[in-house]
């Protein structure tokens, strides 16, 4: 492990020293703002310059954050939009599995089992979050007090890691790649199971599972499924064969492999035996001297030095000349009551997913007591009877995290608008001015947060988002002012139409009709064309504030009660025009002044009313037309 000093900072993290370097970037030991140790991986320039890769990498990192397991060094932070993109994970002090095996030798039997169980538990959590690691290997597994910890998520595939070469450089470690990755075909979670088996093989033997020759020879061995399983302990070979199966569909899932791993026992080696050596209880015999079917077989039936592998059906018929059937010598058995005898029937076929016979397996696949069948013996061992496995148990799936409560609350927003309209009918001038300012602020917030939400949906969150929001505030304010300046006259015309309807059609006196027109003006700011941005801002605010259905219901009841009393009061009480005068008095005074000046037109009347209101509230300097 390198100890190169790196005193500079990146983002909010202070880098202490370099821990290592890989194809994606350089890993440093860093400290966060609270002084906690973290591992900071800074991407290489050739990776950071690929904009498409960075966008895809951002989405993948957000997915990785869902993985929560003590076996996985989870991602705690990332910034993939800056000049020096980086990913931050939990730091685990210790040595990698690769360093441990190269320095101290292969792990013991108990250490191999602890490693296999831990890695299976890590894959269960990773796959439950719909993530594929894709780069599981001894260098990416830390040993902390003997327990494995998966680090450095395999994100190289996001820069086209399914290709074997890229700009003259191989991406990934070929000895731990699944065949489908080399073929550049569809990659599934079964690729992680293959890498797990290769990693455990290395821990048990100290050697690469597919040899250490040239790149081409290693890839050929992987594609042909020629793993050096004979080098592994006998009790582990069946487990390795299932995990390192060349076809992805033949490999067990991480959940199934975990169940099988928990049954591994280094002290038990399951062997096929001749009838002469069958145990008295009819069960499987356990020998101290290990003999497995992968041992060499001579032409005369004795085991010799010439290597050879038995066919898949465990038959010797293609290796030995046929012989006459003979009556097998039955070993003495304990006397058994007649009621315990079972009728002899043909043996059931072997289960397609059972481990190879001759290797230890989980309880559902252990051979049942049997007697040899004379008509099935051709100078060899009897065909095993395998008990049919029970119905598969439901796969283990960690309980998913509950998604945060998000709802637009349209009913609550309508009740709030009704309350505001009622208040506008009671205090027309003050509430109308307040509504204009409120709409302006809502537009600014929607322009800023809407753009931010679109950026995060495209490339994920970033540490630069607050800075972009601050820099975008002036432009959002300019757009909001222009949009409000266009919408306010539209709302004023809507209010004038409402006043005419209340006064001339409904027969309401001018002043109460003007109060109701103020309510129409406030409603028009939200419901007329151009009111979409304020409405979306209100909906976004309610979704952020109300975090549960119960809170939404209580809030709706309270606001509904306030809206009811406000509307009832507005219908029965007289409006207060403070700080303006009642419209009838103000209009009469303005008409007299316009007649005196000879400017008694409808346009001048409207401008005079607006100018009089602006004078009363202290904004007369804005009435440039008077």
Task: Look up tokens 């095993």; give the residue.
Answer: 384
Q: Are 326 and 205 in contact (CB under 8 A)?
A: no
Q: Are 76 and 175 contained in the same domain?
A: no
Tens digits of residue pLDDT in 104-147 = 999 999 999 999 999 999 999 888 888 888 888 998 898 988 89
- Could you tell me the pLDDT band of residue 460, with boundaries at 50, 70 and 90? low
Give the pLDDT score at 354. Answer: 43
The tens digit of pLDDT for each residue in 183-210 reads 888 888 999 999 999 999 999 999 999 9
pLDDT the model gives residue 286? 39
Contact 20, 1 (CB under 8 A): yes
Q: Does the structure show a pLDDT above 90 at 421?
A: yes
Whether residues 83 and 100 share a domain: the answer is no
Instruction: Look at residues 85, 87, 96 and name the one whose alpha carbon lies nearest to residue 38.
Output: 87
Residue 561 pLDDT exceeds 90: yes
Residue 623: pLDDT band (50, 70, 90) is low
Residues 439 and 552 occupy one common structural domain? yes
Nearest 5°: phi and psi at 260?
A: -65, -40
Report the pLDDT value the prediction gives residue 414, as an integer from 0 to 100: 93
Q: Where are the alpha helices (DSSP H) in 463-601?
A: 465-500, 510-527, 532-545, 549-572, 583-597
211 plus 171 within the same structural domain: yes
CA dist 342 and 393 (Å) reads 29
Which of 91, 124, 144 is a domain's end point? 91
Residue 83 lies in a domain: yes
In a domain, 343, yes or no: no
* pLDDT at residue 336 in the model: 53
One domain, residues 319 and 453: no
Question: pTM higher than 0.95 for the full model?
Answer: no
567 or 76: which leads in pLDDT: 567
572 Cβ contact list (under 8 Å, min separation 6): none
Residues 6 or more apart in contact with residue 95 via CB below 8 angstroms: 103, 142, 143
Number of domains in the chain: 4
Question: Do residues 386 and 419 both lie within one domain?
Answer: no
In a domain, 429, yes or no: yes
Q: Would you please indicate which residues are annotated as catalytic (active-site) residues? A: 135
Q: Which of 10-19, 78-87, 500-509, 520-529 has the lowest mean pLDDT?
A: 78-87
Question: Which of 126-135, 395-404, 408-417, 466-475 has the weakest average pLDDT?
Answer: 395-404
pLDDT band of 326, cuts 50, 70, 90 = very low
Q: What is the pLDDT of residue 466?
A: 77
Of the pLDDT bands very low, low, confident and very high (cuts 50, 70, 90), residue 437 is very high
Q: Which domain CATH number covers 148?
A: 1.10.510.10
For residue range 6-50, what is the model confidence (pLDDT) as tens digits? 547 888 888 888 888 776 778 888 888 888 888 888 888 877 777
Is 420's pLDDT higher than 90? yes
Question: Does pLDDT of 563 surpass 90?
Answer: yes
pLDDT of 431 strictly over 90? yes
Average pLDDT over residues 435-464: 77
Tens digits of residue pLDDT in 546-555: 988 888 899 9
In DSSP notation, 606-623 reads HHHHHHHHHHHTT-GGG-
| Residues 357-377 pLDDT 10s | 334 444 444 444 444 444 433
Is residue 136 domain-shared with residue 171, that is, in the same domain?
A: yes
Q: Is residue 336 part of a domain?
A: no
Specify the CATH number for the domain of residue 19: 3.30.200.20
Instruction: Please tell me whether residues 152 and 255 are part of one structural domain.
Output: yes
Task: Please give the full DSSP string across 65-134, using - where no structure is assigned.
Answer: TT---TTB--EEEEE-SSSS-EEEEE---SEEHHHHHHHH-S--HHHHHHHHHHHHHHHHHHHHTT----
CB-CB contact of 425 with 516 (8 Å): yes
The answer on 571 and 434 residing in a single domain is: yes
pLDDT winner (highest mean) among 235-244, 382-391, 590-599: 235-244
User: Does 395 fall in a domain?
Assistant: no
Residue with tokens 């370097």: 21
310 and 258 both lie in a single domain = no
d(CA 164, CA 174): 9
- Give CA separation, 252 vs 187, 189, 266, 365, in Å: 15, 10, 21, 14
| Range with lowest mean pLDDT among 75-89, 201-215, 461-475 | 461-475
Which residue range is the domain that position 135 belongs to?
A: 95-267
Mean pLDDT highest for which of 136-140, 305-309, 378-382, 557-561?
557-561
Same domain assignment for residues 182 and 259: yes
Task: Compute the mean pLDDT over every residue in the chain, rounded to the nearest whole number.
Answer: 74
Do 174 and 218 belong to one domain? Answer: yes
């Amino acid at each position: 492990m390198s100890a190169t000093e790196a005193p500079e900072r990146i983002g909010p993290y202070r880098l202490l020293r370099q821990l290592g370097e890989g194809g994606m970037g350089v890993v440093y030991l860093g400290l966060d703002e609270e002084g906690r140790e973290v591992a900071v991986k800074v991407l290489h320039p050739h990776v950071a310059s690929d904009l498409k890769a960075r966008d895809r990498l951002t989405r993948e990192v957000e997915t990785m954050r869902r993985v929560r397991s003590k076996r996985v060094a989870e991602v705690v932070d990332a910034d993939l939009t800056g000049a020096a993109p980086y990913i931050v994970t939990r730091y685990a002090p210790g040595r990698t599995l690769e360093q441990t095996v190269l320095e101290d030798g292969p792990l013991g039997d108990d250490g191999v089992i602890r490693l296999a169980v831990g890695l299976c538990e890590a894959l269960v959590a990773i796959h439950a979050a719909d993530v594929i690691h894709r780069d599981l290997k001894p260098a990416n597994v830390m040993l902390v007090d003997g327990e494995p910890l998966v680090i450095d998520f395999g994100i190289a595939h996001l820069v086209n890691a399914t290709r074997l070469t890229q700009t003259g450089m191989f991406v990934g470690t070929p000895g731990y790649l699944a065949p489908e990755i080399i073929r550049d075909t569809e990659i599934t979670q079964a690729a992680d199971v293959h890498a797990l088996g290769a990693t455990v093989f290395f821990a048990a033997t100290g050697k690469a599972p597919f040899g250490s020759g040239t790149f081409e020879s290693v890839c050929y061995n992987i594609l042909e499924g020629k793993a050096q399983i004979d080098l592994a302990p006998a009790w582990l070979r069946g487990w390795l064969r299932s995990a390192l199966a060349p076809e992805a569909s033949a490999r067990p899932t991480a959940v199934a492999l975990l169940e099988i791993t928990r049954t591994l026992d280094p002290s038990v080696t399951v062997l096929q035996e001749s009838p002469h050596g069958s145990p008295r209880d009819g069960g499987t015999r356990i020998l101290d001297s290990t003999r497995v079917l992968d041992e060499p077989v001579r032409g005369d039936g004795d085991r010799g030095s010439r290597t050879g592998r038995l066919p898949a059906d465990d038959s010797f018929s293609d290796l030995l000349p046929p012989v006459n059937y003979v009556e097998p010598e039955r070993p003495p058995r304990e006397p058994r009551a007649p009621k315990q005898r079972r009728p002899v029937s043909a043996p059931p076929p072997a289960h397609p997913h059972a481990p190879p016979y001759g290797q230890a397996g989980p309880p559902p696949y252990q051979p049942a007591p049997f007697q040899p069948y004379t008509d099935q013996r051709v100078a060899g061992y009897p065909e095993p009877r395998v008990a049919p496995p029970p119905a598969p148990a439901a796969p283990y799936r960690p309980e998913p995290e509950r998604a945060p409560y998000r709802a637009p609350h349209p009913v609550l927003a309508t009740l709030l608008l009704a309350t505001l309209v009622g208040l506008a009918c009671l205090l027309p001038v003050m509430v109308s001015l307040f509504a204009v300012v409120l709409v302006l602020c809502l537009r600014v917030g929607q322009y800023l947060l809407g753009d931010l939400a679109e950026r995060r949906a495209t490339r994920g969150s970033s540490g630069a988002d607050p800075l972009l929001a601050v820099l975008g505030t002036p432009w959002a304010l300019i757009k909001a002012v222009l949009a409000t300046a266009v919408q306010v006259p539209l709302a004023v015309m809507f209010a004038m139409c409402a006043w005419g309807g209340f006064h001339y059609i409904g027969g309401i006196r001018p002043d109460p009709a003007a109060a109701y027109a103020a309510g129409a003006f406030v409603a028009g700011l939200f419901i007329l064309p151009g009111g979409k941005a304020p409405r979306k801002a209100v909906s976004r605010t309610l979704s952020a504030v109300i975090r549960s259905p119960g809170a939404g219901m209580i809030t709706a009841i309270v606001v509904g009660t306030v809206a009811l009393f406000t509307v009832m009061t507005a219908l029965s009480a007289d409006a207060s025009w403070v700080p303006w005068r009642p419209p009838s008095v103000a209009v009469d005074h303005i008409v007299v002044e316009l007649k005196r000046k000879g400017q008694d037109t409808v346009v001048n009347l409207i401008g005079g009313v607006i100018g009089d209101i602006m004078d009363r509230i202290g904004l007369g300097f804005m009435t440039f037309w008077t």
